[in-house]
Amino acid sequence: MKAIIGKKIGMTQLFREDGTVVPVTLVQAMPNVVTQVKTLDRDGYCAVQLATGSKKRVAKAQAVAWKNLGTFDEVREFRADDTDMSVGATVDVSAFTVGEKVHVIGTSKGRGFQGVVRRHGFHGHPKTHGTKDQVRMSGSVGAGGPQHVFKGVRMAGQMGNQRVTVKNLEVAQVRVEEHILALKGAIPGSRNSTVLIQAVA
């Protein structure tokens, strides 16, 4: 299992030897520390808990659990079929190779309360032929027969600020000295937001 916690820096582009331009997202992933290893026998499933960053004060329970490991700002758990990692081991970007496929999990940008045109891509009503103050409204939300609105009807509401997974992104570049991964394409989240990167099994 190969996984790491990182922070999104932003987007840029790389040029390949044949001259093609590749849009990439840069992720800075400082070395992660394995703080816990969960096994099938003891915990009922296999997982690895990784931590990164630094924090001045932590709860007493965390301080005891992380004894001799340090204090961390970000802690995440990655599921795995089996793992040979041990507590205290470190993971860095050198574990990934160019051309490898990864899944990226992040929190999408929050857009606030949005209408159906922006949230769901509705086309809206005609702007002529008698339409008045209805151009961006949703229209009918169901027939009169059931006398209620069914669950799942697309309406206005909170947009964004949700956990999003983008699958099968290609690792375009690995900069070990700078602790940076360049991933082909876009990933969810704003700059400096936390992202989870896991290699495709």
Mean pLDDT by 10 residues, the chain (201 residues): 95 95 97 94 93 89 87 93 86 95 98 98 95 94 94 97 98 97 97 97 79
Please report whether residue 40 resides in a domain.
Answer: yes
* CB half-sphere exposure, 8, CA atoms < 13 A: 23
Write down the pLDDT at residue 56: 86
DSSP state of 41: H
Write down the pLDDT at residue 28: 97
Query: Which residues touch 6 (CB under 8 Å, ≥6 apart)?
Result: 27, 28, 29, 30, 181, 194, 195, 196, 197
Please report whether residue 169 resides in a domain.
Answer: yes
* C-alpha pair distances (Å), 193 with each of 26, 45, 200: 12, 28, 22
Say how far apart CA 115 and CA 137 lie, in whole Å: 8
Say how far apart CA 16 and CA 54 lie, in whole Å: 36
Which domain range does residue 40 map to?
3-56+64-128+152-199
Tokens at residue 85, please? 């990692």
Count of domains observed in the chain: 1
Asked whether the beta carbons of 172 and 14 are under 8 A apart, the reply is yes
Write down the pLDDT at residue 80: 86
* C-alpha pair distances (Å), 53 with each of 125, 141, 168: 50, 48, 26
Write down the pLDDT at residue 112: 98
Write down the pLDDT at residue 190: 97
Please report whether residue 19 resides in a domain.
Answer: yes
Write down the pLDDT at residue 84: 81
CA 48 to chain centre: 18
Write down the pLDDT at residue 63: 87
Say how far apart CA 27 and CA 175 lie, in whole Å: 10
Write down the pLDDT at residue 198: 96
Please report whether residue 15 resides in a domain.
Answer: yes
Please report whether residue 186 resides in a domain.
Answer: yes
* CATH number where 70 lies: 2.40.30.10
Residue with tokens 């069914």: 150
Please report whether residue 136 resides in a domain.
Answer: no
DSSP H helices in 3-115: 40-43, 60-65
Please report whether residue 146 resides in a domain.
Answer: no
**Residue 57 identity (one-letter amino acid):** R
Please report whether residue 168 resides in a domain.
Answer: yes
